[in-house]
């Protein structure tokens, strides 16, 4: 057997240059695994998705997650470390008259900010090592790939995308949306809590690059149809334009898709923000991953649980079991299992032209309604996308391939 080793730079380069057909191959690998997990009988099957293990380091302020999984294609363990949610910088909201800041105790020792990093080990069903993949870009890509499946369900216009965050998850969510539906997108607005290197970096990655790593090449933009798209980083509270009544509120109310990609301990926007907006939207929340964390307000979740013209009474999740124990927004509201539908269950609805009234209403809701997708991430996502990436890298001649490992 051959062990394939891929660095983060190699993985980024491979994924940055995917064609739409190649992207679809990755998405199919992910959705097939999630569908098998959602609808397949667990007893006696090859699918196993244990709960992840979390370890906190008091010296660094970091959390390390251990995520095992297995299915018929093999086994995987991802070990990833990131800044703990309780070690995030203080959140400050500035208006023209007042400043309010939520800070840790003055004596708290500052800790470094660690972006998610680690590795994914992939093995055959019999335990033979097949791959060792850097996890930084791959984790963000596979998460965005799940969100992309929700984007693919939409038939409503996709002119404005709002993204909370400027890191890897934020970048890849915007990047895959543009790759899939870039001809429709006119504006992408990133929202950050402060001016930072990440703010400049995310714009640079979508900037006037020439393919040498400084940004998406102009030829790629033209091929995907978003060469005229406008990009902006909006700093919350800057110049008095805060979420209570300024530019952020205006941008959000006009958004077709909102990606929440931050490890926030409190909602990123106000209750009732979308009331009276005469169109449906997709809200994706992937940044919070503990019961204490929040990205979207409780009122928006409660609205999703009603049945109305644009609501179906359910929230879409990657895994019901994971959402019940890790999705703070859903736990706060007390969302029940029967009020969730897994992403893998929706795979059968893509392109569905059924005459069944209930299924037709569900399809229409996914296409044009108010939809919340909450993802906490599961190891099967790393396993399925990682296995596909190994084969793709071999085809492209990328990576280190150790014979007879």
Q: What pLDDT digit, counting tens, does each position of 33-43 carry?
A: 999 888 874 45
More confident position, 213 or 172: 172
H or E segment and range at residue 203: helix 197-205
Long-range contacts, 206-213 (Cβ 8 Å, 24+): 206/174, 206/175, 206/231, 207/231
Mean pLDDT value of segment 356-385: 92
In contact, 70 and 46? CB cutoff 8 Å: yes
In contact, 196 and 186? CB cutoff 8 Å: no
Distance separating alpha carbons of residues 34 and 370, to the nearest angstrom: 23
Distance separating alpha carbons of residues 256 and 35, to the nearest angstrom: 26
Per-residue pLDDT tens over the stretch 41-56 = 445 567 888 888 999 9
Residues 238 and 327 in one domain: yes
Q: Indicate which CATH number applies to the domain containing 323.
A: 3.40.50.720
Per-residue pLDDT tens over the stretch 142-190 = 999 999 999 999 999 999 999 999 999 999 999 999 999 999 999 999 9
Mean pLDDT value of segment 359-363: 86
Nearest to 54 by CA among 14, 88, 81, 32: 81
> What are the angstrom distances between the C-alpha of 235 and each of 100, 101, 207, 209?
16, 15, 19, 24
* Phi-psi sector, 147: left (phi>0), alpha (psi -120 to 50), beta: alpha
Q: Indicate which CATH number applies to the domain containing 99.
A: 3.30.1780.10
The first and second tokens of residue 183, run together, are 């001809």
Residues 173 and 109 in one domain: no
**94 band by pLDDT with thresholds 50, 70 and 90:** very low
**Average pLDDT over the chain, rounded to whole?**
87
In contact, 20 and 183? CB cutoff 8 Å: no
Distance separating alpha carbons of residues 57 and 83, to the nearest angstrom: 10
H or E segment and range at residue 330: helix 328-333
Residues 148 and 289 in one domain: yes
Residues 109 and 169 in one domain: no
Residues 264 and 350 in one domain: yes
Residues 89 and 209 in one domain: no
**102 band by pLDDT with thresholds 50, 70 and 90:** very low
Residues 66 and 168 in one domain: no
Q: What domain range is 90 assigned to?
A: 2-136+380-403
Residues 252 and 372 in one domain: yes
Residue 319, φ and ψ in degrees, nearest 5:
-150, 125
The first and second tokens of residue 254, run together, are 């006009």
Distance separating alpha carbons of residues 148 and 146, to the nearest angstrom: 5
Per-residue pLDDT tens over the stretch 322-340 = 999 999 999 999 999 999 9
Lowest mean per-residue pLDDT among 11-15, 176-180, 360-364, 372-376: 360-364
Tally of domains in the chain: 2
Residues 201 and 131 in one domain: no
Residues 26 and 146 in one domain: no
> Tokens 């667990």 belong to which residue?
42
In the chain, how long is the greatest CA-to-CA distance?
Answer: 67
């Amino acid at each position: 057997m051959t062990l394939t080793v891929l660095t983060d730079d190699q993985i980024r380069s491979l994924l940055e240059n995917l064609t739409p057909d190649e992207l679809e191959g990755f998405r199919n690998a992910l959705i097939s695994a999630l569908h098998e997990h959602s609808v397949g009988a667990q007893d006696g099957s090859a699918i196993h998705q244990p709960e992840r293990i979390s370890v906190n380091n008091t010296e660094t302020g970091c959390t390390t997650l251990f995520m095992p999984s297995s299915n018929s294609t093999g086994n995987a363990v991802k070990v990833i470390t990131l800044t703990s949610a309780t070690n995030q910088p203080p959140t400050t909201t500035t208006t023209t008259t007042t400043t309010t800041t939520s800070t840790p105790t003055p004596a708290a020792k500052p800790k470094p900010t660690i972006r998610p990093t680690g590795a994914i080990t992939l093995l055959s069903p019999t335990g033979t090592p097949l791959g060792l993949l850097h996890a930084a870009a791959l984790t963000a890509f596979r998460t965005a790939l799940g969100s992309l499946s929700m984007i693919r369900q939409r038939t409503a216009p996709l002119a404005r995308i709002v993204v909370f965050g400027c890191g890897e998850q934020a970048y890849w969510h915007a990047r895959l949306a543009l790759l899939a539906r870039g001809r429709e997108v006119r504006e992408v607005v990133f929202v950050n809590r402060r001016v930072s290197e990440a703010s400049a970096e995310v714009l640079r990655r979508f900037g006037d690059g020439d393919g040498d790593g400084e940004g998406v090449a102009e030829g790629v933009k033209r091929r995907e149809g978003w060469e005229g798209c406008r990009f902006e980083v909006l700093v919350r509270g800057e110049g008095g334009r805060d979420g209570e009544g300024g530019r952020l509120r205006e941008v959000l109310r006009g958004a077709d898709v909102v990606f929440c990609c931050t490890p926030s301990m409190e909602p990123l926007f106000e209750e009732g923000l979308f009331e009276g907006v005469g169109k449906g939207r997709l809200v994706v929340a992937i940044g919070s991953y503990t019961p204490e964390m929040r990205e979207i307000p409780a009122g928006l979740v409660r609205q999703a649980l009603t049945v109305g013209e644009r609501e179906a009474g359910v929230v879409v999740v990657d895994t019901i079991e994971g959402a019940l124990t890790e999705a703070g927004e859903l736990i706060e509201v007390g969302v029940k299992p029967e009020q969730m539908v897994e992403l893998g269950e929706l795979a059968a609805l893509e392109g569905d032209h059924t005459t069944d009234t209930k299924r037709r209403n569900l399809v229409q809701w996914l296409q044009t309604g108010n939809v919340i997708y909450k993802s906490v991430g599961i190891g099967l996502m790393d396993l399925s996308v990682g296995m596909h990436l190994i084969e793709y890298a071999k085809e492209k001649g990328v990576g280190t391939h150790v014979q007879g490992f």
